[in-house]
Structure 1
Amino acid sequence: MEQELLARLNQLHEDDEFAEIVKTIMGIPASERDYELLGQLARAYNNLGRYDEAMEQLLVLAEQGKDDSAWHYRIGYSYYFLQQYKQAVGAFTRAYELNPSEDLEEWLEAAREKVERSERQERRAAAARAEREQRVKEGGNQEPFAGMDVSQFWENSRYAIDTYVCDPPTEKMIALVEEELGGYKLPASYIALMKVQNGGIPRNTCFGTEEPTSWSEDHIAITSIMGIGLEKAEALGGSSGSRFMIEEWGYPDIGVVICDCPSAGHDVVMLDYRSCGKDGEPSVIHVDQESDYEITYLAPDFESFIRGLRPDEDYEIPAEVTLEEDLRKVNEAPFSPLLAELCGAVTEVERVDLLIRSVAARIVREKGYFALHADEFSTLMYDVQFWLYSRVHPVPATEDYLKQYREMIAFASGFGTGGYAEAFVTDWLKDRINNGMIRKDHGKLQLVEGAEADIVARLKETAGDEEDRTWP
């Protein structure tokens, strides 16, 4: 019976049915859940993103798991996604000692990099806090934004007003919003700026960084600053406000989300109260969902953040330069070793590499740069990559394909986009499974009959349109 149960649980794991694993195990009396079952439960919690619950199960098994590589790997995984990177390094190190593998080596390297980055961030934040405290000590209780013309801070557009601007904040509204936010006291400088205009789109939307993010090597960008209100969806206490981003999008519950970014939810700017408590002066951080909610320190306080915002043109590469460079890249740069191997295996389609380059050139001309998002031609490129990969590696596992996807174009040093937002790829895969182009069976992926011919036809048609077009 136990072997049958374990076999079923492993099959559910292969099928990504993690919630069903939890349901099955929790339906077994607690007295009958042994080490193996609780380990399976913790693994399912990890895969569901319920890392605290996984940790709780694993800590109960600590004594039994001290010499088990799988136990150390699972708790290291929990530590990693709970951003307890030093503990993750320790756990992955022990797991590797007990059972070395390439996968564990990669996790260990990633955790070490996170530790180094976190330590750099903390040193920068501590130095900035000390500098701020010295300024306050020397300058006394200076009014927020002294010497800055905040009347020129906001963009004046109908969209900004309709979407973001709330009524001027009253003391009662401020108290209600702070209660809605979980008791975090908003900085005096935040309230002062909102009394000039309560939320909106600033004229300057970029802030320089010393660490790269998914947005840029040297800065982040914002699309808006949330007003102090409850009614508008984009206000701090609105239906798409701070608590929504924390509870529904998984952002860390360490403060208040105050700014959305151009990624439409995949990165945000927050007030961080970890060092000051709910009544203190929070620092400002960038949180990047696409990099496992990685935190990048920005400023010691909200006023410093606002004063540090710069116009787009301070960071933008001229569009014509980007267009020219990316056209040269997609037309001439070498393919990654994996993409070159996959294209080399195609014999039934003449010069598939040139067809791919033609579609990439069309993407560049449409956008002004080379990137894959959720548009028609990006979707075609996702389809083509899966078609090529599955010809050489038939019926790949979902996890394996998503891992190899990075090596084809996304992170290629030549013909590549320089990165990618994972959600675009996973959303594409879900859509293709739902619309019947890709069959998923026991966690394995396969194009349905006729899908390959459809992809090749669209590839040739789109590439032909690009080649036939005359460009100035």
Structure 2
Amino acid sequence: MEQTLTEQLNQWHDEDEHQQIVDVLLTVPEEERDYEAVSRLARAYNNLGQYEDALRQFDKIADAGQHDPLWHYRVGYALYHLKRYKEAAQALATSDQLEPGDEHTELLLSWSLQKAEKQDREERRIAAKRKALASRGSVPEAPPCDNMPLADFWDDSEYARDSYQSAPPTDELIASIEEELGYKLPSAYIALMKQQNGGVPKNTCFPTEEPTSWAEDHIAITGIMGIGREKSYSIGGDLGSRFMIEEWGYPDIGVVICDCPSAGHDVVMLDYRACGRDGEPEVIHVDQEDDYEITFLAENFEAFIRGLVSEEEYDTSEEDKEADLYKVAHGKFSPLLEELCAQVTEVEHINEKIRSICTRIVEEKGHFSFHADELSYLMYDVQFWLYVKSYPDTNRDQYLANYSQMIAFGGEFGQGGYAPGWITEWLDHRMNEGLIIQANGRLRFMDTFASDLVKQLREF
């Protein structure tokens, strides 16, 4: 490619103008696009989330790309986001063999292998259930619901009554909702809703055998949606099942029946993949934060209800708080955070300032994590300020790629994980405010905001 075009494509990539890259490269006749041009076009498709288009482009240069670790990595990236985890792991393993030690490749390879194994278990389980159902020759009867633990099941509160609870559903309403959603509701669920149509149960946790975005060993629900359309949190309401599927992108494999404390970022669903639309569905947890990953919970709705346990069984909050207070007071900084702090001259004892802010965060929240609150935003600001001081040529992709190595995965002084959405939301918010500016792809704070941040740090 011409040097001027290469420079322009680099600038657009740094500025996240990936559609510009696609539009320009598609004007080049296909027979005139060399390996580099096709690679850049495919990468732009990846960055736009158009993974099938990316794979079609990568396939055109597959022979030439066999010895290019970056080609294999980008193919694996596309396959990962298409949930073709086994193929993604193969591509990423080849990339790792060609260029060992790349942390991005190693991390995505690890995730792909984990998800491939879980996906394989899920497929085997569904196939076994379908085979068992087929051998019976008809849809099995739903499990009895007479002995469901209904006494003292619900938590009676004003919030529950206002947000979830409706009058018991009539048979006509049930039929109408089933027709609207396209699924036959389980008899155990209907029985519970006729006893009380939606609400917040006293027991809101369900044990899991594998970790989710909520916890290592369980999920939590906020409430159980009732049958109807009147309340927002009913399966036919404006925040109900169809809304979560059509607006939030949850898989169209059943009915959303429970919302969770994440406010939309994970839900509990009735899963009809194995049994068909008229059968007895399983109950699953779907995690929007982790690319809609599915975790099996229970064979049926009654088993799910019986399996709910009190959050007190998982309440280690005091112990966790004490551990996190010790961590932020004494934990060793990550190598990157140590390096960045060593370059600071504007604020004395910057290490102690960071520990002081994080101590306040733990004292207020009970745990060491950053979200969208004021102190979390201060720590996002501090980390960004530290990083771009030492690396002034940083662009958006570079910063987001290296963010986790400061505190999120910072070892002793670390959180053990993070949700990337919080960081991108903070970054977009600061850019919309005009406090972070981008010039030639490089990000930096406005000088006045950087000065205000220094003053704020000196006060801690």
TM-score by length of 1: 0.84
- Give per-residue Cα distances to partners, 1:395-441, cap 9 Å, x unaligned: 31212211211111112231222322222211111111111211123
Alignment partner, residue 428 of structure 2: 430
Alignment partner, residue 119 of structure 2: 118
Alignment partner, residue 15 of structure 1: 15
Matches within 5 A, 1:60-71: 62=59, 64-68=61-65, 69=68
Are the equivalent residues in 2 in contact too, given 1:266–1:290 (CA < 8 A)?
A: yes
Alignment partner, residue 295 of structure 2: 296
Alignment partner, residue 469 of structure 1: none
Alignment partner, residue 240 of structure 2: 241
Alignment partner, residue 339 of structure 1: 337
Alignment partner, residue 187 of structure 2: 188
What secondary structure sits across from 1:198 in the alignment?
coil
- Give per-residue Cα distances to partners, 1:52-73, cap 9 Å, x unaligned: xx31563476354344256654
Root mean square deviation, CA, Å: 3.2
Asked if residue 390 in structure 1 is aligned to residue 388 in structure 2, the reply is yes
Distance of 2:353 and 2:435 partners within structure 1: 21
> 1:41 and 1:166, CA in 2 relative to 1: closer, same or farther beyond 3 A?
farther
Are the equivalent residues in 2 in contact too, given 1:299–1:305 (CA < 8 A)?
A: yes
Asked if residue 270 in structure 1 is aligned to residue 306 in structure 2, the reply is no
- The alpha carbon displacement at 1:31 in A equals 8.0
Distance of 1:177 and 1:218 partners within structure 2: 34
Distance of 1:19 and 1:166 partners within structure 2: 47
Unaligned runs of 5+ in 1: 464-472
- Higher mean alpha-carbon deviation, 257-266 vs 72-81, is at 72-81
Alignment partner, residue 173 of structure 1: 173
Alignment partner, residue 360 of structure 1: 358
Asked if residue 256 in structure 1 is aligned to residue 267 in structure 2, the reply is no
Matches within 5 A, 1:365-376: 365-376=363-374
> 1:87 and 1:414, CA in 2 relative to 1: closer, same or farther beyond 3 A?
same
What secondary structure sits across from 2:318 in the alignment?
helix
Alignment partner, residue 444 of structure 2: 446
Distance of 1:235 and 1:33 partners within structure 2: 56
Distance of 1:61 and 1:331 partners within structure 2: 49
Alignment partner, residue 470 of structure 1: none
Distance of 1:98 and 1:333 partners within structure 2: 36
- Higher mean alpha-carbon deviation, 2-11 vs 152-161, is at 2-11
- Higher mean alpha-carbon deviation, 59-68 vs 30-39, is at 30-39
Alignment partner, residue 414 of structure 2: 416
Distance of 1:381 and 1:175 partners within structure 2: 52
> 1:443 and 1:161, CA in 2 relative to 1: closer, same or farther beyond 3 A?
farther
> 1:246 and 1:24, CA in 2 relative to 1: closer, same or farther beyond 3 A?
farther
Are the equivalent residues in 2 in contact too, given 1:125–1:297 (CA < 8 A)?
A: no
What secondary structure sits across from 1:446 in the alignment?
strand
- The alpha carbon displacement at 1:278 in A equals 2.6
- The alpha carbon displacement at 1:328 in A equals 1.6
Distance of 2:242 and 2:24 partners within structure 1: 31
- Give per-residue Cα distances to partners, 1:371-412, cap 9 Å, x unaligned: 211111111111111111111111312122112111111122
Distance of 1:300 and 1:25 partners within structure 2: 51
Alignment partner, residue 104 of structure 1: 105
Are the equivalent residues in 1 in contact too, given 2:45–2:54 (CA < 8 A)?
A: no
- The alpha carbon displacement at 1:303 in A equals 1.6
Are the equivalent residues in 2 in contact too, given 1:58–1:71 (CA < 8 A)?
A: no
Unaligned runs of 5+ in 2: none
Distance of 1:252 and 1:98 partners within structure 2: 36
Distance of 2:444 and 2:79 partners within structure 1: 34
One of 294, 306, 322 as aligned partner of 2:320: 322
Count of aligned pairs between the two proteins: 451
> 1:186 and 1:148, CA in 2 relative to 1: closer, same or farther beyond 3 A?
closer
Alignment partner, residue 284 of structure 1: 283
- Higher mean alpha-carbon deviation, 98-107 vs 273-282, is at 98-107
- The alpha carbon displacement at 1:45 in A equals 4.0
Distance of 2:21 and 2:180 partners within structure 1: 35
> 1:173 and 1:395, CA in 2 relative to 1: closer, same or farther beyond 3 A?
farther
> 1:44 and 1:61, CA in 2 relative to 1: closer, same or farther beyond 3 A?
closer
> 1:276 and 1:43, CA in 2 relative to 1: closer, same or farther beyond 3 A?
farther
> 1:169 and 1:47, CA in 2 relative to 1: closer, same or farther beyond 3 A?
farther
- The alpha carbon displacement at 1:33 in A equals 9.6
Distance of 1:347 and 1:172 partners within structure 2: 72
Alignment partner, residue 457 of structure 1: 455
Distance of 2:10 and 2:183 partners within structure 1: 44
Amino acid at match of 2:322: E
Distance of 1:356 and 1:12 partners within structure 2: 35
Are the equivalent residues in 1 in contact too, given 2:233–2:240 (CA < 8 A)?
A: yes
Distance of 1:10 and 1:174 partners within structure 2: 57
Distance of 2:155 and 2:208 partners within structure 1: 23
Amino acid at match of 2:116: V
> 1:414 and 1:256, CA in 2 relative to 1: closer, same or farther beyond 3 A?
same
Distance of 2:410 and 2:292 partners within structure 1: 24
Distance of 2:7 and 2:242 partners within structure 1: 40
What secondary structure sits across from 2:447 in the alignment?
coil
- The alpha carbon displacement at 1:155 in A equals 1.6
Amino acid at match of 1:155: D
Distance of 1:180 and 1:383 partners within structure 2: 47
Amino acid at match of 1:338: L
TM-score by length of 2: 0.86
Asked if residue 154 in structure 1 is aligned to residue 154 in structure 2, the reply is yes
- The alpha carbon displacement at 1:226 in A equals 1.7
Are the equivalent residues in 2 in contact too, given 1:395–1:446 (CA < 8 A)?
A: no
Are the equivalent residues in 2 in contact too, given 1:35–1:61 (CA < 8 A)?
A: no
Amino acid at match of 2:244: M
Distance of 2:123 and 2:374 partners within structure 1: 42
Are the equivalent residues in 2 in contact too, given 1:66–1:72 (CA < 8 A)?
A: no
Distance of 1:189 and 1:258 partners within structure 2: 13
Matches within 5 A, 1:181-220: 181=181, 183-220=182-219
Distance of 1:106 and 1:142 partners within structure 2: 43
- The alpha carbon displacement at 1:264 in A equals 1.1
- The alpha carbon displacement at 1:100 in A equals 6.7
Distance of 2:24 and 2:284 partners within structure 1: 40
Are the equivalent residues in 2 in contact too, given 1:287–1:293 (CA < 8 A)?
A: yes
Distance of 2:34 and 2:189 partners within structure 1: 51
> 1:385 and 1:228, CA in 2 relative to 1: closer, same or farther beyond 3 A?
same
Are the equivalent residues in 2 in contact too, given 1:380–1:458 (CA < 8 A)?
A: no
Amino acid at match of 1:86: K
Distance of 1:411 and 1:422 partners within structure 2: 12
Are the equivalent residues in 2 in contact too, given 1:380–1:459 (CA < 8 A)?
A: no
> 1:47 and 1:171, CA in 2 relative to 1: closer, same or farther beyond 3 A?
farther
> 1:20 and 1:153, CA in 2 relative to 1: closer, same or farther beyond 3 A?
farther
> 1:455 and 1:275, CA in 2 relative to 1: closer, same or farther beyond 3 A?
same
Distance of 1:40 and 1:238 partners within structure 2: 44
